[in-house]
Structures are given as structure tokens and as C-alpha cells.
Structure 1
């Protein structure tokens, strides 16, 4: 059985071998390769082997370095965010929505800001779904309004109000200069300004670069990362609706 202290594995158990990739803002030549190895050594890789170097235009070079590190990982110190709600089948989700709301659950989804990557939001909303699960359009008791890509936050708020949305799902794939963070906090602030206290729709953000446990800091109710399935989202929405009704009782 693996103990609480482990090291990376490369060629043999406990050899500490890792592989990292990075880009340096210098043209590709021997000096650039030396700079890459210097950086790797300062990162704690010793010895370090340069296994790949490729120019990216005239002024940048991409590197892959393989080497050994002495760092240890303590599994007892790893914090895991556990799912706080059960996973439900599509039939169970429909029954719970019908029982709790006595009408369809309205979900508005979009990619906000300049983000044009709709693969994530479509995987959750479109009937085709993801990972063998059908999207929220498949659920009989859910009405889906998919606004697509590059939706301005004021337009999202206006459409959510017009549709009387119970939940708003936003997808953020573009992360340069923390665009996903800025867009999400702007979105959450706009909804809280536009709605009375206690009437804000369920706000959900999803994307591959969001940190687990960051929902409160971003002002949303839930964060979903890579690999999230439509069933997980549907189950969460039912859970949150139940929680809100319980708090309001």
C-alpha cells in the first residue's frame, strides 16, 4: 500500500523524475537551450535533460525538460473538495424538479466576454451531451436557453430576467491574464446588482482553469472544472433548489 509520503515516478519507483514544458522569450539557439537548463535547475531539477526545443516565431522558444527533483508529496496534506450532493439519474432529476417547482426549471447558458469557445457549454446544454450523458436539453423538466459565444454581461442579465431564469451557466475557456476570473466576477456582480437580495438566479461557472473551492471568492454558487458531465450539473441544480427552498421556509 502506498504511504502518505510519495515521490514522482519516471523510470523506476521513487526516482523523482518529472517533465515540464515552458516558453522563454528568446530566439532558439545554444544560449536559449542553456537558459532553459538553468531555469530547470533553479526549479529543483538536477540533473535536467533538455528533450525538446522548438522555435515559436523569431523571438520565442518552447522547451520540454526532463529531470529529477528531490521534493516529496505528503498525501495527508492534500485537500479534496468533496461533492456535497448525490448524483441523480435524468428521471430522478425530472421528478425532483416537478415536485419542487411544479414547472420547468429555466437554465440560461452562455460564453461571456470575448470567449468564443462553446464546446464546454454545448457539452452541458446540448442534447448530444458529453461522456455518454445527454445534455440538459434532454431533461423533460428543464428549459434550456443557450445564448452561444461572446455574450456581453448586460445582455446575459437582460435575457436571464426576460426568461425568468432559475439558473445561469457561464463557460470560460480563455484564461489569458485571468480573463476567466475577471469575467466571472463581473458577471456575478452584475446579477447581484440587477436582482433583489435573495432573488438572484443560481450562478454557475465552468471551465478547465477554475480552482476548486473558488466559488465564494468569485461570487458564484458553484464552480465546475474539466470533465464535468451534464448529470453532475443537473444534480447540483436540483440540490441547490432544494437548499434554497429549505432556507426560505
Structure 2
């Protein structure tokens, strides 16, 4: 190990105890409970204790198991995407857009494919926002177009063209069979085909199951995970579209905070 090492904590420090839940496609009986313990052992829990088992409809059982693992975590080997831009207030965001762009910053948002879960995109875009923060519609210098749910990729591209979008925000909650990854790749490919690099909007996706390190693989500019707030998104938009691309005025204002 190259750096600080930690083990899971359950009853006492460093005892390696973890709790895992899963569902097996078997009816609830003693055999099913034995199967759950066998799986837990193969996952490295030794010894494993079955602490909960509940039928989940015909032919399915939900389990919770508790046990010890011997795995260690090297904290120096952990790779995450750190926030590399200052967190700004709504007033600061509006001021930077006015001085740097000298026009409203256009944002188009949607849930694409068959995804009908608009809670995420609405939390970021709608005025009511989330976690005590107002959504992007609250920012006077941002022009927000929320297309809602189940928007096709061609419809999204066309809306971005019509609205002259500076940024496109896509929320993906449905992840069965990696639908969120397929939809994102389809979207990024469509924008690359429809618009030249210099005129393409910033492509941003968000959702609880995305790996924030996959921007290059998915062909997008930024991935936001669970817990993202409107203020973070607004600050990122200004950082990328005004400070990085807008030249000296925006850079001086942020540097002077």
C-alpha cells in the first residue's frame, strides 16, 4: 500500500464489518437463506450473518447480510473528480454573465430517451430548486428552456439549435441495461455530427449512477453525481463559458474574490 490505509468500521474500529443487501430470484425458505449466505461468503464476508430476509413478490427474496471483510482501502489510490471552480452566489453568477457575455446565457435541459424521471432536472432548473437553493430559472442572466421528460436526441439537438444553447443539461435516472450510458453516447455523437466543435454547446449530464470520471468515454464536458445543487451547476457554467472562454474580464473578477 502506498498511502493511508483504512478498514470498514462496524462494532469496533478497524473490525472490517460491512452490511450488504441484495435480491435473489428464489422464493423465501431455508434454502434461499442458505443461498444468500453462500453468496455472501463468495463476496468475501467471513463469517457472514443473515440479519434480514423478506419475500419480494412471487419467486424473489430480499436479503441483508452482515459480516467481516479483510479488504483494505488505500486512500492515496482513490480517484475522484474534485470541484475545480469557485462556488459563486447568484449575484456573482449574474454579474459575470453580464460583464463577460454581455447577453443572457442560454441553457437547455431535458431527460432523454424513455427516461420520465424529471425530479433531477427540475431540481436544477426550476425556480423552486432543491436543498434551499433556487434553480437556474432564478438567475436573471440565464435563459432556461426545460424540455421535460422522454425527449428524443434529435429533438434535443434541434432545441439547442433554436435556442442557441450555450449549455445542454441532461438528467438520466433510469439505468437498466446501462440505458443512461447508451443515451449519453447517442446524444454526444449527435451533437458532434450536427454542430462543429466551435459552435457546440457545453454538454453536461447528471444522475445518481454516473461515474464522474467517464466524461471522455461518454463524450461530454462534465458529469454531476448525486447531491449536486443548482449553485454548483451555475458556478460551473460561468467558469467554463465566461471565465475560461470569455477572456480576461471574467477571469479578473473571479480571481479578485
Q: TM-score range by the shorter chain?
A: over 0.9
Partner of 1:217: 217
Equivalent residue of 2:130, what SS?
Answer: coil
Structure 2 residue 214 is matched with structure 1 residue 233: no
CA contact (8 A) 2:16 2:68 kept: yes
Q: Secondary structure at the match of 1:198?
A: helix
How far residue 208 of structure 1 moved from its aligned partner, in angstroms, is: 0.5
Unaligned runs of 5+ in 2: 248-257
Give the distance between the partners of 2:83 and 2:53, measured in 1 at CA.
41
TM-score, structure 2 as length reference: 0.92
The corresponding residue for 1:172 is: 172
Matches within 5 A, 1:105-144: 105-144=105-144
The ranges of structure 1 where at least 4 consecutive aligned residues each deviate by more than 3 angstroms after the TM superposition are none
Q: 1:116 deviation in Å?
A: 0.7
Residue matched to 2:16: 16
Equivalence for 1:199: 199
Cα deviation, 1:2-34, whole Å, max 9, x if unaligned, reads x81111111111111100011112121111110
Aligned length: 244
Equivalent residue for 2:245? 244
Q: Is the 8 A contact 2:80 2:213 kept in 1?
A: no
* TM-score, normalised relative to structure 1: 0.95
Distance 2:124 2:109 in 1: 9
2:162 aligned residue: 162
- The 2-side partners of 1:152 and 1:80 are apart by 31
Q: CA deviation at 1:210?
A: 0.5
Alignment of 1:66-77 (within 5 A): 66-77=66-77
Give the whole-Å Cα distance in 2 for the aligned partners of 1:82 and 1:8: 23
Residue 5, structure 1, aligned to residue 20, structure 2: no
**Residue ranges of structure 1 left out of the alignment (5+ in a row):** none
